[in-house]
Amino acid sequence: MKPENHPFSALSPDFILDAIESRGFRVDARILELNSYENRVFQIGIENREPIIAKFYRPDRWSQDQVQEEHDFLLELASNELSVVAPISLGNTTQFKAGKFMVALFERRGGRTPLIESESSLEILGRTLSQIHNVGAAKPFLYRPSIDVDDYGKSSRSWLLEAEFIPINLEKQYENISNELISRIEEKYSKYEAKNIRIHADCHLGNILWREQRPHFVDFDDSRNGPAVQDLWMFLSGSVSERSRQMTHIIRGYLDFREFNFGEVALIESLRALRMMRHSAWIGKRWDDPAFPKAFPFFNTEKYWVEHLHQLSEQLEIIEEEGISLNV
């Protein structure tokens, strides 16, 4: 697809400002595009008040019901005084249509990335996430999908093998490694029961703003049903002992407000492997978006796939290792 034919090419300054003004805001013509690959997000200047954030959803990714579930979850969390950035209510709705796009508006929030080295920060993260999960456990998403082996693993694998991104000389190797990896992950899931609840699902440091000694969670776009540990493991880094220390402090905070299923810790490396597989398929499915070749220039090269196969092979071994240990 030519860049000028991609749906996001319709987002001219006039189109964006007209969309915001249609909801009763008086814009001052200031537009700043913010970092976002999946959607397009802009800071919009508003006359005589703070700027707002406008999120133009990628067409045909989520249905209106799925977007509304994201918004409703955020509003539930906000009503429980949890630190999330909820959409601005526009009369009796939180979303509206502008051309092909579903649009939502948010207040602008600032903050810094939390210091992962700080034990107190880790425990605060754990406490906040346990409260988010208490709300998330009240009911499931009905329209949004779940994190599972079929969606993240098998469908990603099938799509990549059919899409012809993998070099021909590496296809068989990818087919074999990914098949074995999925089998190992299914074995892990059969041994350790995980309960799905509504979670953030893309909970990494880039989606947290730290302000006033507490975390503010942003970007629930990928929110879905999944195990609680999915929202915890992406904060971990370093050696096994360092990750064990970090997770120990997260869980200590988590237990202040919610019980934790310790069996889910054994699924961390399986969830990491599923995320790796899904990430590659995600890039491939978005390759016609001009932003993706610019952001991931090596994706369509043999070097990328050699490295990806190496990472998947490493995950095969890591999944079988003992993994992190907790001292809570």
Residue carrying the six token digits 């904060």: 235
14 labelled catalytic: no
Of the candidates 202, 221, 222, 231, the residue annotated as catalytic is: 202
CA 270 distance to own-chain centroid: 17
3-state secondary structure 35-76: CCCCCEEEEEEECCCCCEEEEECCCCCCCHHHHHHHHHHHHH
Strand 196-199 with 52-56, pairing: unpaired
Of the candidates 219, 221, 222, 289, the residue annotated as catalytic is: 219
202 labelled catalytic: yes
Neighbours of 96 (CB within 10 A): 15
In DSSP terms, which residues pair with 106 in a beta bridge?
53, 87
296 phi, psi to nearest 5 deg: -130, 65
**What is the rounded end-to-end Cα distance, in angstroms, of the chain?**
53
Residue carrying the six token digits 């107190």: 120
- Contact by Cβ (8 Å): 230, 201: yes
CA 276 distance to own-chain centroid: 13
The percent of the chain in helix, strand and coil, each rounded to the nearest 5, is 50, 15, 35
Rounded to whole angstroms, the Cα distance separating 310 from 297 reads 19
Q: Is the dihedral of CA 69, 71, 132, 319 positive or negative?
A: positive
Q: Which letter does DSSP use for residue 89 in this model? A: P
Rounded to whole angstroms, the Cα distance separating 101 from 56 reads 6
- Contact by Cβ (8 Å): 52, 90: no
Rounded to whole angstroms, the Cα distance separating 206 from 237 reads 14
The residues assigned a catalytic role are 202, 219
